[in-house]
């Protein structure tokens, strides 16, 4: 009796899945009109970057993809491997230079930045700011100085209690107030700073978890060797704590990438922003499903690449596994 | 004969009213091996941890290698002493993220500012001396307890200390691994290293110690040469402890 029930439920579920899969496939191949994607590929990639300068963001992304592939499936040893970390660190300044121009390149205003390029730059830029800030906050929270401890904890709790979108709006409105009159920083930078201030609170909590996992005897062992407190932190405690925090930091990084889409509300034309402006174009009216499916695929690809890179980093940093 | 450690009337309590050290006085001369014994909680760890400033004192006078480490000791003085006093812990406390070689060369490079090749050559020599030269490029987790403890000894020796402190260095080891560590310590004693060793290894104490100090409840009960201590201890408390150990 029970067996028959099991079987019929299984069959029913299979039939449902098959039907849904078939309709989706049918729609993808016959019903959908992909022209909204195919004719706008440059927009998705680089936004409204001047056509004769498009090679700059495209070059940056090409280097990024090359580095990703080299890291994941490139040679295991040799000079390529040795230079990879430095190359990765150079990617943020390289991206900024290629997009903004100057130093021999034609300057391009941030209003023309957009698409996947902007999404990646926002992720990289805010991540690069948030990580050191988060580490400092985590250390502050464990400091011996009560003032430092309380202000770090207060900051972290405050940021974690406020939704990101509110922080982003406040950033647009408040950051200019703190700057001397006449000095104006542009929207993209304001968004990156606000985003980093927010992410730092979460990163701080992850790093704190890592710090707590280091037994006090490690500090003692460093102290009896005559290492100063700063050296102990830099050479013994932080390397171990960050390694422990790495899996949760990876989650934060992927979340960072996805949350850049909120900046569309601030008027930045990153991936989501570009899509919304395309959907507002009469030529592509009603093509929601195509656009959002395509968008989902691009985000999925970028997030998967990030997750793979993070897993690779975890493996590299595990001394015992990587030495085999 | 120069004095390496001179302590008089050391007092230390972690919780008010409960003295972990209750008026300890002692003297360790250069080249001497002092073994400290006593029941659990008698203050042995607390005592030797004051010798390199890991614990602060409530009162008493303490002079280590000519530097005063008193109740009001200064961070700078403590750091100066730590470069000259090596310490080995019960739980090895190697740095798990560094290779064996990096564990040993870290302090020579960062604290003594020696060159990398110089520090590495010295580290290899020390590892050879400990009988584990071929382990240099492994990581702590890949070594047995006995091997890890010998790395810890090499790490302390790499700073060329004048005094070595050992806090139950073999208590966390499998019985069959104890000998290799004690042998390394024996060698060290033969070369004239000044050593203070907290241990329950009676054989080691009998054979290597110049003097045995017995502690109970934060006080020194008696200090004798090992011959006397093991055959005819003066104090009743020492005899009772020894009868339980054997
Ligand atoms: N960090 C601490 N905080 C509070 N009390 C402590 C601390 N460390 C030691 N004590 C107490 O001080 C006393 C002496 O401890 P100590 O560790 O020096 O003894 P020990 O002789 O080394 O014992 P064992 O053989 O168990 O290692 C004990 O009563 C212990 O409970
Ligand atoms: Mg102890």
Q: What is the pLDDT of residue B79?
A: 85
Query: What was the pLDDT predicted at A241?
Result: 95
Whether the CB of B43 sits within 6 Å of ligand 1: yes
Q: Contact A220/B159, CB-based, under 8 Å? A: no
Residues of A with CB under 8 A from a CB of B: 217-218, 220-228, 231, 235-236, 239-240, 243, 319-320, 323
Asked whether B45 lines ligand 1 (CB < 6 A), one says yes
From the list A155, A189, A314, A152, the residue with the least C-alpha distance to A249 is: A314
Band of pLDDT at residue B69, cut at 50, 70 and 90? confident
Instruction: Please list every residue in chain B whose beta carbon sits closer than 8 Å to the beta carbon of residue A239.
Output: 97
pLDDT at B159 over 90: yes
Query: Rounded to whole angstroms, how far apart are CA atoms B165 and B129?
Result: 19
Q: Give pLDDT, residue A99.
A: 87
What's the pTM value of the predicted model, to 2 decimals? Answer: 0.85
Q: Is the dihedral of CA B162, B168, B172, B174 positive or negative?
A: positive
A67-86 b/e (C-beta count within 10 Å ≥ 16 → b)? bbeebeeeeeeeeeeeeeee
What is the chain B residue with the closest CA to A221? Answer: B93
**How far is the centre of ligand 2, averaged over its atoms, from the C-alpha of B48 (Å)?**
9
Within a domain: B140: yes
Provide the residue range defining the domain that includes B107: 94-161
Q: If you average pLDDT over residues B14-33, what whole number do you get?
A: 93
**At residue B61, does pLDDT exceed 60?**
yes
The pLDDT value recorded for residue A131 is: 94
Does ligand 1 have an atom closer than 6 angstroms to the CB of B16?
no
pLDDT of residue B97: 93
- Residue A322 CA to residue A290 CA, distance in Å, equals 43
The Cα–Cα gap between A217 and B195 comes to: 22
Domain assignment present for residue B157? The answer is: yes
The pLDDT, as a whole number, for residue B185 is 95
Asked if residue B215 belongs to a domain, the reply is: no
Residue of B50, B64, B86, B96 to mutate when probing chain A, most A C-beta within 10 A? B96
Q: How far apart, in whole angstroms, are the C-alpha atoms of residue B231 and residue A150? A: 60
Which pLDDT belongs to residue B149?
95
Mutate to test the pocket of ligand 1, among B16, B38, B43 (most ligand atoms within 8 A of CB): B43
Q: What is the pLDDT of residue A182?
A: 65
Report the pLDDT value the prediction gives residue A1, as an integer from 0 to 100: 64
Domain boundaries, chain A: 110-322
Residue among B11, B197, B95, B3 nearest A222 (CA):
B95
- Tell which CATH architecture fits domain A110-322: Orthogonal Bundle (1.10)
Residue B51: which pLDDT band, with cuts at 50, 70 and 90?
very high
Chain B residues whose beta carbon lies within 8 Å of the beta carbon of residue A224? 52, 54, 82, 85-87, 156
Q: What ipTM does the predicted assembly reach? A: 0.91
pLDDT in tens, B183-201: 999 999 999 999 999 999 9
pLDDT at A38: 81
The stretch B152-159 carries a mean pLDDT of 95
| Domain count for chain B | 1
Please state, in angstroms and rounded to a whole number, the distance separating the CA atoms of residues A46 and B57: 66
**What pLDDT was estimated at residue A321?**
63
Residue B72 lies in a domain: no
Sign of the CA dihedral running B148, B149, B150, B155: positive
Nearest CA to ligand 1 atom 7: B14
Find which of A216, A217, A226, A320 to mutate to test the B interface (most B CBs within 10 Å of its CB). A226
Token pair recorded at residue B142:
């890949």
Confidence at residue A75, expressed as pLDDT on a 0 to 100 scale: 82
Q: What is the mean pLDDT of each run of 10 residues along chain A (324 residues)?
A: 86 94 86 81 85 90 92 83 87 88 84 88 91 95 92 95 91 79 75 92 95 95 93 94 92 91 85 86 83 90 91 81 58
Q: pLDDT tens digits, residue range B184-243?
A: 999 999 999 999 999 999 999 999 999 999 999 999 999 999 999 998 888 888 899 888
User: Which residues of B have a CB under 8 Å from any CB of A?
Assistant: 52, 54, 79, 82-83, 85-87, 89, 91, 93-99, 106-107, 110-111, 137-139, 141-142, 155-156, 159
B165: region left, alpha or beta (phi > 0 left; psi from -120 to 50 alpha): beta
- Strand pairing report for B211-216 and B219-224: antiparallel
Closest to A55 in 3D by CA, of A105, A20, A126:
A105
């Amino acid at each position: 009796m029970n067996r028959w029930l099991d079987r019929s439920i299984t069959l029913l579920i299979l039939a449902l899945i098959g039907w849904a899969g078939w309709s989706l496939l049918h729609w993808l191949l016959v019903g959908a009109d992909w022209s909204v994607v195919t004719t706008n590929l440059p927009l998705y990639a680089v936004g409204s970057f001047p056509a004769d300068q498009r090679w700059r963001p495209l070059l940056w992304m090409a280097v990024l993809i090359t580095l990703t592939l080299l890291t994941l499936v490139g040679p295991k040893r040799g000079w390529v491997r040795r230079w990879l970390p430095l190359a990765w660190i150079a990617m943020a300044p390289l991206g900024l230079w290629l997009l903004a121009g100057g130093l021999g390149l034609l300057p391009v205003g941030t209003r023309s930045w957009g698409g996947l390029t902007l999404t990646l730059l926002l992720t990289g830029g805010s991540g690069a700011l948030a990580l050191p800030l988060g580490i400092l906050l985590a250390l502050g929270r464990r400091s011996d100085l009560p003032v430092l401890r309380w202000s770090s904890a207060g900051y972290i709790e405050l940021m974690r209690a406020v939704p990101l979108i509110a922080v982003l709006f406040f950033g647009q409105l408040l950051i200019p107030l703190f700057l001397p009159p006449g000095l104006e920083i542009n929207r993209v930078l304001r968004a990156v700073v606000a985003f980093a201030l927010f992410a730092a609170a979460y990163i701080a909590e992850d790093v704190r978890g890592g710090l707590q996992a280091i037994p006090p005897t490690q500090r003692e062992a460093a102290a009896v060797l005559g290492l100063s407190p700063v050296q102990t932190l830099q050479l013994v405690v932080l390397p171990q704590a960050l390694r422990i925090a790495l899996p949760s930091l990876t989650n934060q990084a992927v979340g960072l990438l996805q949350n850049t889409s909120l900046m569309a509300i601030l008027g930045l034309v990153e991936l989501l922003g570009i899509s919304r402006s395309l959907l507002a174009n009469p030529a592509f009216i009603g093509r929601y499903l195509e656009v959002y499916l395509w968008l989902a695929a691009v985000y999925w690809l970028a997030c998967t690449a990030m997750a793979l890179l993070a897993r690779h980093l975890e493996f590299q940093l595990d001394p015992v596994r990587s030495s085999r | 004969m120069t004095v390496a450690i001179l302590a008089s009337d050391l007092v230390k309590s972690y919780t008010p009213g409960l003295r972990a050290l209750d008026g300890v006085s002692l003297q360790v001369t250069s080249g001497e091996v002092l073994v400290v014994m006593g029941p659990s909680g008698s203050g042995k760890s607390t005592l030797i941890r004051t010798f390199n400033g890991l614990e602060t004192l409530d009162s008493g006078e303490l002079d280590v290698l000519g530097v005063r480490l008193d109740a009001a000791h200064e961070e700078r003085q403590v750091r100066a002493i730590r470069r000259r006093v090596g310490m080995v812990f019960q739980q090895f406390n190697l740095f798990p993220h560094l290779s064996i070689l990096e564990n040993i060369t870290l302090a020579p490079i960062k604290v003594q500012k020696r060159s990398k090749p110089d520090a590495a050559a010295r580290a290899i020599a020390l590892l050879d001396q400990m009988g584990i030269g071929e382990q240099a490029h492994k990581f702590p987790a890949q070594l047995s307890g006995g091997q890890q403890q010998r790395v810890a000894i090499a790490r302390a020796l790499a700073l060329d200390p004048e005094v070595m402190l050992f806090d139950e260095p073999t208590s966390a080891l499998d019985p069959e691994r104890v000998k290799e560590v004690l042998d390394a310590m024996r060698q060290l004693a033969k070369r004239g290293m000044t050593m203070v060793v907290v241990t329950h290894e009676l054989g080691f104490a009998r054979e290597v110690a110049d003097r045995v100090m017995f502690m109970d409840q934060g006080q020194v009960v008696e200090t004798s040469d090992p011959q006397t201590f093991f055959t005819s201890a003066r104090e009743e408390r020492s005899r009772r402890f020894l009868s339980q150990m054997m």
